Chains A and B, each alone.
Chain A
Amino acid sequence: MNSEFKRGLKDGLPIAIGYFSVSFSFGILALQQGLTIFQSVLTSLTNITSAGQFAGLQIIVAGGTILEMILTQFIINLRYALMSLSLSQKLDKKVTLWQRFIMAFANTDEIFAVAMSHQKSLTMSYMAGLQLLPVFGWTAGTGVGAVASSLLPDSLCSALNLALYGMFVAIVVPVARKARPVMCVVLIAIVLSCIFYYVPLFQSISGGIAVILATVIAASVGAWLFPVPASEKDMDS
């Protein structure tokens, strides 16, 4: 086995374990909301993204429009465009166009973060090794969660429903603690999201659109008040 591939596998293993546990709760939730086991596994295998799938599931359950689905996925997953852009600057010269098509598929927040901290330029072997186990963990976790959902008592399902949110909090809070602008953006997003949810005037706005509006407004205010210097962006990526 190629040493770059092996190194990738080793770097991907902890990500895969984390993904398994979170996608397990996605599988439970998807079944609770009425998807079949096959549909929930298919969703995870084809999307490999937590926030997007989670929001997408809400739209499916609510019977939202396709336009709403496109907009929600676009806004929630817009960050991947930026990550792919950064990743493209770090690829080895030997990486071909069709290899780029393959490695784009599972460019998740965590895989991106690990790839960017890799010491050398990124080869196809390394990226394949890095992505293999997390993709497997994400898909398998969903399947196991979906199968187990009917066997698990309600009390456990209720607790596991919080796993996804716990992971979101674990991504946001450490950064918000370090960077005051991020803290401000987070607080603005909380206020807006609650207004859209609780104020009667806005209750005709569906959940997906409310997330988009809160995200776009909070991130715009952040970009306007606290432009990010180039060096900080590199540090983040």
Chain B
Amino acid sequence: MVYVYIFVMAFVTYLLRVIPLTVFRKKIENQFLCSFLYYVPYACLTALTIPAIFSSTASVISAAAGLVTAVILGFWNKGLFTVAASACVVVFLTERLLGL
């Protein structure tokens, strides 16, 4: 059953990538649709992160510390790797401080 899920995931993802590149070669003109698609990644990544991030680590406190670290570094325009790695380090240190 897990393989069915994986196949469905891969198939839907590939279709979304391949259809516009091969079939539709015109530009989208509808402004609402364009604007909607422009906002989708930000809305989606945000909804994926919050509130799920708070239950991703051993403690809500360490997750919150990691989130705050990531937001601050993101605000300073640090790269993906720097932000993600620093947030992980802060989670690790926070959990050691909490004695988990």
Contact = CB atoms under 8 A, between A and B. Distances in A.
On whether the two chains bind one another, the answer is: yes
Interface of A: 17-18, 21-22, 35, 39, 42-43, 46-49, 51-56, 59-60, 66, 69-70, 73-85, 87-89, 97, 100-101, 103-105, 107, 109-110, 154-156, 158-177, 181-182, 185-186, 188-190, 192-194, 197-198, 207, 210-211, 214-215, 218-220, 222-224, 226-228, 230, 233, 236
B87 to A, nearest CB: 4
Contacts of B3: 39, 42
Tell me if B's interface is mostly helix, strand, loop or mixed.
Answer: helix
Interface residues of B, number: 76
A136 to B, nearest CB: 17
Contact of B6 (A46, A80, A182, A214): A46
B81 A222 contact: no
Given A169-B83, A210-B47, A158 B95 contact: yes
A77 to B, nearest CB: 5
A165 B27 contact: no
Given A54-B48, A81-B19, 14 more contacts: A48-B13, A60-B5, A74-B12, A82-B34, A85-B27, A104-B17, A110-B80, A159-B91, A159-B95, A163-B84, A165-B87, A170-B73, A174-B77, A219-B37
B9 A105 contact: no
A46 B4 CA distance: 13
A170 B17 contact: no
Contacts of B17: 77, 80-81, 83-84, 104-105, 107
Interface in B1-27: 2-10, 12-14, 16-22, 24-25, 27
A185 B39 contact: yes
A104 B9 contact: no
Interface string B62-73: 110011001101
A228 B38 contact: yes
B9 A186 contact: no
12 contacts: A52-B13, A69-B8, A80-B13, A85-B21, A104-B21, A158-B91, A166-B85, A170-B83, A177-B74, A185-B39, A215-B44, A228-B34
Contact of A81 (B20, B58, B67, B74): B20
